[in-house]
């Protein structure tokens, strides 16, 4: 739901002043230090920038896509380094959870993502396959009531800061199976290691060997899961304080 026009206009005016008076004067300092000052990050949190696309019920601003684009235009008047600070929280690092998470998952993570307490990251790219989601080699193998994830991800935005990763892993039962699912993986889960920063096309990037082995129970299907199966998909949506499957992976041959 769109914000009241007057409230949104006030938000845009505030962000415009923030960019002009706070961010642009710091561009040289950020370039030299390769870091955003902590005080500026706290101001971003106070403005709600970490929760632009998260619903108000979870502490976000709940902007529409049009409203979010208008905010992005204002932030585009300074170096993109500032937006990258919270970009994964409002985009690829959280939207799987926003769109496909269970109520319990959303209640646990979204308020902290919206406040900036938790930084998210999206782990798709791999050394040998790039960002081809259909060719990922990281595997999630079910062993009884356990999913065991193993593999290497690379060039993960904000990996050095993130507390929660959305990890793309192959879930096909047979070798080379094409089913791919998304898993929520907390940073402090045993078995995860985060590599040193690397450069990619002249930009700072993050290398991150992964991942984990953790218990993931499979409760009776929810209504949405049953609906997914009826339409030819398989949904695994559950949480056990560790790896959490979010995605309904297509079960069709072209899946």
pLDDT value for 234: 31
Query: Helix or strand or coil: residue 3?
Result: coil
Percent of the chain topping pLDDT 90? 40
Cα–chain center distance at 28: 28
pLDDT value for 178: 63
pLDDT value for 66: 93
The CA-based angle 202-196-194, given to 5 degrees, is 125
Give the DSSP H or E segment for 165. strand 164-170
Rounded to the nearest 10 degrees, the angle between the axes of helix 5-18 and helix 38-47 is: 170
Please provide residue 174's backbone torsions phi and psi, each rounded to the nearest 5 degrees: -100, 160
- Residue 48: is its pLDDT beyond 90? yes
Please provide residue 25's backbone torsions phi and psi, each rounded to the nearest 5 degrees: -65, -15
pLDDT classification of 254: cutoffs 50, 70, 90:
very low
- Residue 253: is its pLDDT beyond 50? no
- Residue 37: is its pLDDT beyond 90? yes
Structure tokens at 173: 């039962």
Residue range 25-53: average pLDDT?
A: 95
Residue range 8-24: average pLDDT?
A: 96
Better-predicted residue by pLDDT, 50 or 6: 50
C-alpha to C-alpha distance for 90 and 119, rounded to whole angstroms: 10
Nearest to 211 by CA among 135, 94, 121, 132: 121
| 180-186 and 197-200 strand pairing | unpaired
pLDDT value for 193: 79
C-alpha to C-alpha distance for 51 and 189, rounded to whole angstroms: 25
Write the pLDDT tens digit of every residue in 122-151: 988 888 888 888 888 888 887 776 678 888
C-alpha to C-alpha distance for 140 and 251, rounded to whole angstroms: 16
- Residue 154: is its pLDDT beyond 60? yes
Are the C-beta atoms of 182 and 171 separated by less than 8 Å?
no
pTM metric for this prediction: 0.76
Write the pLDDT tens digit of every residue in 164-208: 999 888 887 655 556 888 888 888 877 787 877 666 544 554 444
pLDDT classification of 228: cutoffs 50, 70, 90:
very low
C-alpha to C-alpha distance for 89 and 162, rounded to whole angstroms: 10
C-alpha to C-alpha distance for 182 and 168, rounded to whole angstroms: 5
Are the C-beta atoms of 246 and 237 separated by less than 8 Å?
yes
């Amino acid at each position: 739901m769109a914000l009241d026009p007057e409230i949104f206009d006030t938000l845009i005016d505030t962000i415009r002043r923030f960019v002009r008076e706070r961010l642009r004067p710091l561009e040289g300092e950020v370039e030299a230090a390769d870091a955003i000052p902590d005080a500026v990050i706290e101001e971003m949190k106070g403005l709600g920038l970490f929760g632009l696309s998260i619903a108000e019920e979870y502490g976000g601003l709940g902007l529409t896509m049009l409203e979010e684009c208008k905010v992005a235009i204002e932030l585009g008047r300074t170096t993109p380094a500032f937006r990258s600070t919270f970009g994964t929280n409002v985009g690829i690092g959280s939207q799987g959870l926003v769109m496909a998470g269970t109520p319990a998952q959303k209640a646990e993570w979204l308020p902290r993502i919206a406040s900036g307490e938790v930084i998210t990251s999206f782990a798709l790219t791999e050394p040998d396959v790039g960002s081809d989601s259909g060719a990922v080699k990281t595997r999630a193998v079910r062993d009884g009531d356990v999913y065991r994830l193993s593999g290497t991800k690379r060039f993960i935005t904000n990996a050095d800061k993130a507390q929660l990763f959305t990890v793309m892993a192959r879930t096909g039962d047979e070798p080379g199976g094409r089913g791919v699912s998304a898993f929520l993986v907390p940073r402090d889960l045993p078995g995860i290691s985060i590599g040193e920063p690397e450069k990619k096309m002249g930009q700072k990037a993050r290398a991150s060997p992964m991942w984990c082995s953790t218990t993931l129970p499979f409760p009776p299907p929810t209504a949405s899961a049953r609906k997914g199966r009826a339409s030819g998909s398989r949904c695994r949506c559950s949480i056990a304080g560790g790896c959490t499957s979010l995605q309904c992976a297509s079960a069709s041959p072209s899946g």
